[in-house]
Amino acid sequence: MRIPPYWRLSAWYFFYFAFIGAFAPYFTLYLQSLGQTAFAIGVLMSLMQVMRLLAPNLWGWLADRLGHKVAIIRLSAALALAGFATFFFAREFTGLFIGMALMAFFWSASLPLVEALTLDQLKSAPDRYGRIRLWGSVGFIAAVTGSGVLLDAAGLPALLWICSALLAGILGIALLLDEPRSEAPPVVQVPLGPELRRPAMVAFLLACFFMSAAHGPFYFFYSIHLVDAGYGKTLVGALWSLGVVAEIFVFIYMPRLLQHFSLRAILLASFALAVLRFLLIGWAVESLLLLLLAQLMHGATFGAFHAGSVAVLNRWFPPQQQARVQAIYGSISFGAGGMLGGLLAGQTWDSLGAELTFTIGAGFAAIGWILLWRGMHGPAVSAVTAP
């Protein structure tokens, strides 16, 4: 019996974000255990963002040109697994740099393509995107919680085996995905330039850039911040999981939210909560209650922000442009923005301290809020502001 497309796509999101759940919270601790400095950790982890800036545009252009998204998804999954194997042998900065660059270049290729593939499957019901994407959140929770418990018991080197198994799962599910039957290489590609230069689109992409920059200290140093404050890895994993539980509820109820609020209002709220969240993380780490509150805000600062951003792009661009525009969004937001936030956090972590580093992140979120408030309004964004 063939697995329906809904469950194949859901399973892919599960393994993809399960890898992030094991990798993002704990790999910085693994690098720290190898003796890498905060600056070196910032440089190494920023390679994930650098490749998300460069690689998706190449792969997205190729997929739109050839009309074969799934073949590229499969190839990138296999090569990402091969690149990650480098970490079993690398201990010094140079070897770690090469391994991270290889793994990140191929790993970053697939998400924009699967986003476009999912939206293609949901042509008649695009608001169901959140119901599929939430399985990525489930995978993240399972991985971050299970990894924390396992690493407390077995030690940080076990992380390499956990991540390898999850990358193998991504590859296995990619082999089950189907190319859309209607998809074919377009005869003439509609240029993106005019749409990308619209003031509302420029404001939107710049705001996304600053939102990801705001998350840089969180994604790179949150676990180190908590461990330095005396929290164990199991509790660290639980706090990461709490944030993603909140994210799941947002994905589930996003269609209902869109019935009552415009996308612009949802995005503005997510940016405002990001300012508060990162201030709490930076200045109230000794209060578990406030950390719990800050993690619940992840439902807004990532869940509502990302689901809302995908919806904006889906409304503004036709299907034959989706792979490219999703890649551009990922590159500017998670790529360039995440790179800036991570590199700056690596520079300031030792010199300014955790409190001011997270305050800088809150400042980036405030800049993004201003850009959205000023830039996304009026007739040019009527499709986005309509309930």
Q: At what angle do helices 305-316 and 233-260 cross, to 10 degrees?
A: 40
Q: Let me know if residue 186 belongs to a domain.
A: no
Q: Let me know if residue 264 belongs to a domain.
A: yes
pLDDT of 382: 47
Q: Let me know if residue 55 belongs to a domain.
A: yes
pLDDT of 58: 76
Q: Measured between alpha carbons, how far is 68 from 74 in angstroms, rounded to an integer?
A: 11
Q: If you ran DSSP here, which 8-state letter would residue 380 be given?
A: G
Q: What is the largest CA-CA distance in the chain?
A: 59
Query: In which domain, by residue range, is 168 found?
Result: 5-180+192-385
pLDDT of 317: 84
pLDDT of 346: 93
Q: Let me know if residue 328 belongs to a domain.
A: yes
How does pLDDT run across 131-171, given as a tens digit for each residue? 787 888 889 999 999 999 999 989 999 999 999 999 999 99
Q: Let me know if residue 185 belongs to a domain.
A: no
CB 332 within 8 A of CB 208: yes
- Helical spans, DSSP H, in 175-198: 193-196
Query: Which CATH number do you get for residue 127?
Result: 1.20.1250.20
Q: If you ran DSSP here, which 8-state letter would residue 333 be given?
A: I
Find how far residue 285's CA is from the centre of its chain: 24
Q: Let me know if residue 187 belongs to a domain.
A: no
Radius of gyration of the chain (CA): 20
Helix (H) or strand (E) holding 339: helix 338-351
pLDDT of 187: 43
Taking Cα atoms as reference points, which of 182, 147, 178, 227 lies closest to residue 319?
A: 182
Q: Let me know if residue 133 belongs to a domain.
A: yes
Taking Cα atoms as reference points, which of 42, 53, 335, 364 lies closest to residue 211?
A: 364
Q: Measured between alpha carbons, how far is 283 from 212 in angstroms, rounded to an integer?
A: 20
Query: What averages of pLDDT result for each successive group of 10 residues across the chain (387 residues)?
Result: 73 94 94 95 92 75 72 91 96 96 89 80 68 85 93 93 97 87 53 80 95 95 95 92 88 86 94 98 97 96 92 83 78 87 93 97 98 76 49
Number of structural domains (the chain) is: 1
